[in-house]
């Protein structure tokens, strides 16, 4: 007797059904993937600002030099610049916290809004963020804590970056998630 081994093969209809299910799952998941990327861009911008503020505070404490983080808005774009003031040969100089180069009118601010491609609203305070030499406490603004609000218009998420006036510590809070 001869053993008949039947081999099962996929039919064209079965393959089309599997491809159709995969296409349906992809269609459902793509909008959520886009929101995930937008949220990552928001978190990256917030992380960049957090790092700059903490570096400025640490520099003020360790090197006993006044350190400033200056924010600037131009339309929908937001920028920051971190620098410290030092005295060399009796002359006061403002030097970039990141490069050590002297600050002047041509110094480029760091753009933390381009990662988001214009989908973010920034509430940039009027006052610069200034840390006192050696203590790390804020000397500017002169009253209250320093708060910067960033709102993602695509994911409808709003976060506050608050710097405590007395300790100089940074706190990041989710302040609003609007219903779509």
SS3 162: strand
The reported pTM is 0.69
Degrees to nearest 5, angle at CA 135 with 132 and 137: 60
pLDDT digits (tens, 9 = 90+) for 102-114: 877 666 677 665 5
Length of the chain: 180
Indicate the domain borders of the chain: 34-177
Strand locations in the chain, DSSP E? 67-74, 77-88, 91-96, 110-111, 120-123, 129-131, 138-140, 146-152, 157-163, 170-177
Confidence category of residue 118, pLDDT binned at 50, 70, 90: very low
How far apart CA 180 and CA 177 sit, in angstroms, is 9
Confidence category of residue 180, pLDDT binned at 50, 70, 90: low
Identify the architecture of domain 34-177 in CATH.
3-Layer(bab) Sandwich (3.55)
pLDDT averaged over every residue in the chain: 77
């Amino acid at each position: 007797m001869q053993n008949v081994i039947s081999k099962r093969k996929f039919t064209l209809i079965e393959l089309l059904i599997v491809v159709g299910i995969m296409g349906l799952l992809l269609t459902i998941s793509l909008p959520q993937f886009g929101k995930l990327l937008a949220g990552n861009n928001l978190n990256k911008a917030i992380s960049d600002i957090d790092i700059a503020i903490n570096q400025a505070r640490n520099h003020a404490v360790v090197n006993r030099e006044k350190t400033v983080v200056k924010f600037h808005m131009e339309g929908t774009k937001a920028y920051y610049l971190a620098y410290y003031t030092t005295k060399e040969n009796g002359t006061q100089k403002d030097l970039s916290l990141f490069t050590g180069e002297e600050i002047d009118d041509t110094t480029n601010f760091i753009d933390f809004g381009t990662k988001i491609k214009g989908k973010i609203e920034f509430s940039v305070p009027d006052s610069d963020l200034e840390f006192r030499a050696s203590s790390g406490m804020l000397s500017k603004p002169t009253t209250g804590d320093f708060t910067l609000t960033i709102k993602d218009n695509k994911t409808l998420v709003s976060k506050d970056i608050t710097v405590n006036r007395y300790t100089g510590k940074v706190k990041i809070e989710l302040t609003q998630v609007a219903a779509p």
